[in-house]
């Protein structure tokens, strides 16, 4: 369940289509690279290819420094959340170093926006190191913009056969017809939209569906605020960056306070226990969805 990746392709299909849709922060020009089970060489070649493309726009009258977004669904390495590829891993440092090389060529300092959406185990470790590196090093060449991790550094990212997607991708997809409605729509196994509940939406929805077992981390639109379980805190106090260890300490504290409230409502679900079987965890998540549906009706 945490590492089977039966629905990885469906997750990436959705994420790719979602970020191709026109929205308020899309650029006039965009280029897309879709990689399936790439090697490290293929990954970095695709990344390198974006440099000249960005460079073609840097002298234009509307050039704002450009932006880069990485969407990844797959395995994350325990400990540092490194992205597992066919022949190795991509660490946060690997990604940052490659992007810094591009930024030095195409963007003025502090203008290349970096976004990442990771539906992978332990991805909270990856994104917090990514944020830390951007804030602390590299002469402020890179600007973290929209950064999403599907779970905390010490958590797994779950899949559920009834949803046909990773839990984070499903919750990320939930859209409400109105702010006061219990009803909502979410991505289905065939990537069409179908019925869901508003309570399942977003990072808090993921926490609720997994009884506090999977808690996404969100840094949205360069606000300087990091969020978990619907609770946020400022990464800069008195204008000073708080640092990586303090960032992770506060994330764990906020997560634990909320998760400890959620878990007693579902005492039979033990998704944080790595000795649980796939069948037990999947059954627990199904029961949680049914429980939330009953309490919302």
- For residue 253, what are the contacts with CB-CB under 8 A and spacing of at least 6? none
CA–CA distances in Å: residue 101 to residues 71, 138, 151, 238, 293: 20, 10, 29, 31, 49
**Which whole number is the average pLDDT over 60-82?**
86
Q: Which residue has the higher pLDDT, 238 or 277?
A: 238
Q: Would you list the DSSP string of 217-234?
A: EEE-TT-SEEEETTEEEE
CA torsion sign for 150, 154, 160, 164 is positive
- Determine what percent of the chain is predicted with pLDDT higher than 90: 36
Q: 94 pLDDT exceeds 90?
A: yes
Q: Give the per-residue pLDDT at 238.
A: 85
pLDDT of 25? 58
Alpha carbon distances (Å) from 139 to 58, 90, 93? 19, 22, 15
What pTM was estimated for this model as a whole?
0.84
**196 confidence band (pLDDT: 50, 70, 90):** confident
- Within a 10 A sphere around the Cβ of 268, how many other Cβ atoms? 10
Mean pLDDT, rounded, of the chain: 82
Residue 3 — very low, low, confident or very high, per pLDDT cuts 50/70/90? Answer: very low
Q: List the single range of 58-62, 73-77, 188-192 with lowest mean pLDDT.
A: 58-62
Please state, in angstroms and rounded to a whole number, the distance separating the CA atoms of residues 14 and 71. 10
Decide: 90 and 45 in contact? Cβ < 8 Å.
no
pLDDT, residue 235, reads: 95
Which one is predicted more confidently, 107 or 133?
133
User: H or E segment at 49?
Assistant: helix 40-55
- Rounded to whole angstroms, the Cα distance separating 36 from 209 reads 29
Q: What angle, rounded to 10 degrees, do the helices at 40-55 and 92-106 form?
A: 20
* Cα separation, 77 vs 83, whole angstroms: 7
**Burial group, residue 209, by CB count within 10 angstroms (0-12, 13-18, 19+):** buried
Give me the percent of the chain exceeding a pLDDT of 70.
Answer: 81
Mean pLDDT across 272-292: 54
In this prediction, residue 151 carries a pLDDT of 96
Q: How many helices (H) and strands (E) does the chain have?
A: 8, 14
- Region 146-160: what's the mean pLDDT? 92
Least confident among 5-9, 106-110, 220-224, 244-248 = 106-110
pLDDT at residue 253 greater than cutoff 70: yes
Q: Is the pLDDT of residue 157 over 60?
A: yes
Q: What is the mean pLDDT of residues 3-32?
A: 73
pLDDT above 90 for 288: no
Res 27: pLDDT: 59
Quickly state the pLDDT bin for 7 (edges 50, 70, 90): confident
The answer, yes or no, to whether residue 272 has pLDDT greater than 70, is: no
């Amino acid at each position: 369940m945490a590492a089977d990746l039966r629905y990885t392709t469906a997750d990436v299909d959705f994420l790719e289509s979602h970020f191709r849709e026109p929205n308020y922060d899309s650029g006039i020009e965009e280029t897309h690279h879709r990689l399936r089970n790439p090697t490290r060489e293929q990954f970095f070649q695709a990344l390198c290819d974006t440099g000249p493309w960005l460079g073609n726009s840097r002298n234009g009258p509307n050039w704002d420094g450009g932006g880069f977004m990485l969407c990844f669904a797959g395995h994350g390495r325990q400990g540092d959340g490194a992205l597992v590829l066919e022949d190795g891993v991509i660490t946060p440092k690997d990604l940052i170093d490659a992007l810094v090389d591009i930024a030095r060529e195409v963007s003025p300092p502090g203008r290349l926006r970096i976004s990442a959406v990771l539906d992978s185990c332990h991805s909270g470790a990856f994104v917090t190191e990514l944020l830390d590196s951007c804030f602390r090093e590299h002469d402020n060449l890179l600007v973290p913009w929209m950064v999403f991790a599907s779970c905390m550094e010490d958590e797994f990212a779950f899949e559920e056969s009834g949803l046909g997607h990773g839990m984070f991708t499903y919750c990320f997809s939930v859209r409400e017809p109105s702010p006061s409605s219990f009803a909502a729509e979410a991505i289905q196994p065939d990537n069409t939209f179908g019925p869901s509940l508003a309570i399942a939406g977003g990072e808090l929805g993921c926490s609720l569906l997994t009884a506090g077992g999977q808690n996404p981390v969100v840094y949205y639109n360069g606000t300087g605020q990091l969020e978990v379980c619907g609770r946020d805190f400022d990464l800069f106090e008195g204008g000073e960056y708080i640092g990586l260890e303090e960032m992770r300490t506060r994330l764990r504290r906020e997560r634990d306070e909320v998760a400890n409230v959620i878990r007693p409502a579902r005492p039979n679900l033990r998704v944080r226990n790595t000795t649980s079987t796939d069948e037990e965890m999947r059954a627990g998540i199904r029961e949680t969805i049914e429980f939330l549906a009953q309490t919302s009706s």
